[in-house]
């Protein structure tokens, strides 16, 4: 197995248990791959390879019968987004003023990964404060898309998605406040799950922000479910965490007889032709799987969605980093400064009107999901953004400039409708060689249906499972 670094997590666990493969062999391969590709993609904010090898040796002993039995992730290399604190490790949020910050505690969902035997071999890069759909900072430089390094891996979980696509991680974590799991998953051709609000315990204060979600990224639907089952469930530190714990079953029922709604533009987005074509092709695959897929329209208005999101971010996200801005504005990235100053335009009265806007946005989606089992749509309106894109630049859709960067974030409505689970899966590739993504949107808290649909599509559209379906970055 010369491409161990692309071995699915579920298959690696099977081979560990049968003693056909050791965690040391897998970790060695993944680290070697990371050392080969990192100069090109820059997915990692920090690596911990020596510690990871020690942990892999300990996992190997457990599989040999020494000590405690191996946990559900034992021996697997997991890239954890640098945003999530791990006690004793840096927690900089990609910001120069925070470059010396070291976490004094570990996030609950990360502790679950560690307790399950997952090995954190690297911390994945993010944009500053995780507030952008691309990944570059003054602290870490520019992260790039393994499929075409002229493009971004997305953000804010860009390092996680890039490392999975490049083979330098087996599993990865992300967080999502406006698309930050799904956008990188789409750009890099991996699978990313935004759980419904409360499914995975979140860190204070953002555990009380209903736009915020922690979730898994992986190279397959089964691997994504594996990690989700470890990190999900109620936790005493998070009052919003849901009871009882939901388990994604290992065997997912087929989609025969399901009714699935299809919207290529969500009623208001301009969508790249390649993205639209790949979305329709994905719908055809689900029809082949036995589902009824019908095109629908939504009465959404782009200005309403963008306004609701800006109010929310302005009232919560911007003020959360204002102290840093007031002391160190010159050290911040331009996009972070703009994000914070825009919050000055939001008033308390806006907050109330924003809640009304959010209710109006969800209402037609809720009605639609009463009639259908799920909705499918593009994850992002364009295949990818340039690697060094900034939010003051236009985004071109089919050659036409869009002046507002939020105009291509087709993920935003589903942070507003935050109780809806959403899985982003690969739908194809664009003319630039970068992947495109399909979002599977479920009824509130109906995670299992979303995984069923994603698995049915993956069965008919395998991805990253052979060299001809992987980034041509290096052999």
Q: Is 163 a catalytic residue?
A: no
Measure the CA–CA gap between 233 and 244, rounded to whole angstroms.
7
Task: Choose the catalytic residue: 22, 143, 156, 439.
Answer: 156
- Please name the residue that has the structure tokens 């430089």: 141
**Which residue has 């065997």 as its token pair?**
251
CA distances from 413 to 201, 203, 305, 369, 383 (A): 22, 23, 7, 14, 19
Structure tokens at 164: 């999975």
Centroid of chain to Cα 167:
16
Q: Which one is catalytic: 22, 81, 430, 443?
A: 81
Give me the catalytic one of 22, 143, 168, 180.
Answer: 180
Question: For 266, left (φ over 0), alpha (ψ -120 to 50), or beta?
Answer: left
User: For the chain, what is the total number of helices (H) and then of strands (E)?
Assistant: 15, 15
The residues pairing with 175 across neighbouring beta strands, listed in sequence order, are 214
- Please give the full DSSP string across 102-132, using - where no structure is assigned: B-SS--HHHHHHHHTT-EEEEEE--SGGG-S
Q: Name the 3-class secondary structure at 159.
A: helix
Interaxial angle between packed helices 273-288 and 447-460, expressed in degrees from 0 to 180 and rounded to the nearest 10:
100
Q: HSE-up of 48 (CA within 13 Å, CB side)?
A: 20
How big is the chain, counted in residues? 475
- What is the DSSP-derived secondary structure letter of residue 386? B
Q: Tokens representing 308? A: 């609701």
Residue 77 structure tokens = 């290399």
* Pairing outcome for strands 435-442 and 374-378: antiparallel
Active site residue 186: no
Is 81 in the active site? yes
Active-site residues: which are they? 81, 156, 180
């Amino acid at each position: 197995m010369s491409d161990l670094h692309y071995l699915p997590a579920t298959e690696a666990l099977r081979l560990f248990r049968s003693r056909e493969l050791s965690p040391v062999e897998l970790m060695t391969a993944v680290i070697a791959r990371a050392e080969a590709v990192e100069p090109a993609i820059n997915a990692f904010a920090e690596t911990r390879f020596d510690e990871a090898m020690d942990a892999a040796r300990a996992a190997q002993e457990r599989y040999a019968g020494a000590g405690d039995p191996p946990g559900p992730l034992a021996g697997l290399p997991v890239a954890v987004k640098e945003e999530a604190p791990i006690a004793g490790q840096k927690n900089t949020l990609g910001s120069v003023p925070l470059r010396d910050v070291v976490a004094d505690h570990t996030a609950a969902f990360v502790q679950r990964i560690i307790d399950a035997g997952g090995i954190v071999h690297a911390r994945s890069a993010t944009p500053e404060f995780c507030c952008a759909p691309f990944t570059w900072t003054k602290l870490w430089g520019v992260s790039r898309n393994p499929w075409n390094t002229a493009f971004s891996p997305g953000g804010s979980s860009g390092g996680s998605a890039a490392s999975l696509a490049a083979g330098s991680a087996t599993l990865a974590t992300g967080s999502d406040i406006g698309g930050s799991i799904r956008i990188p998953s789409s750009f890099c051709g991996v699978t990313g799950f935004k759980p419904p609000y409360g499914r995975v315990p979140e860190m204070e204060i953002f555990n009380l922000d209903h736009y915020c979600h922690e979730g898994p990224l992986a190279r397959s639907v089964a691997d994504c479910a594996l990690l989700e089952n470890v990190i999900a469930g109620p936790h005493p530190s998070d009052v919003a965490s849901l009871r009882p714990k939901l388990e994604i079953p290992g065997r997912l029922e087929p989609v025969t007889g399901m009714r699935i709604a299809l919207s290529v533009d969500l009623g208001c987005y301009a969508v790249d032709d390649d993205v639209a074509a790949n979305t329709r092709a994905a719908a055809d695959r689900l029809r082949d799987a036995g589902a009824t897929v019908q095109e629908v329209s939504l009465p959404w208005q782009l200005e309403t969605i963008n306004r609701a999101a800006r109010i929310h971010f302005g009232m919560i996200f911007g003020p959360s980093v204002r102290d840093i801005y007031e002391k160190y504005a010159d050290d911040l990235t331009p996009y972070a400064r703009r994000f914070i100053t825009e919050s000055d335009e939001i008033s308390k009265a806006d907050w109330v009107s924003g809640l009304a806007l959010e209710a109006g946005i969800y209402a037609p989606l809720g009605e639609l999901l009463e009639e259908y089992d799920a909705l499918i749509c593009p994850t992002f309106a364009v295949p990818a953004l340039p690697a060094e894109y900034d939010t003051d630049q236009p985004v071109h859709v089919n050659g036409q400039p869009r002046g507002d960067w939020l105009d291509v974030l087709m993920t935003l409505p589903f942070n507003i409708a935050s109780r809806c689970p959403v899985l982003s899966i690969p739908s194809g590739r664009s003319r630039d060689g970068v992947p495109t993504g399909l979002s599977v949107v479920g009824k509130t808290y109906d995670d299992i249906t979303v995984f069923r649909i994603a698995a049915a599509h993956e069965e008919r559209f395998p991805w990253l499972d052979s060299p001809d379906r992987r980034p041509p970055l290096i052999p």
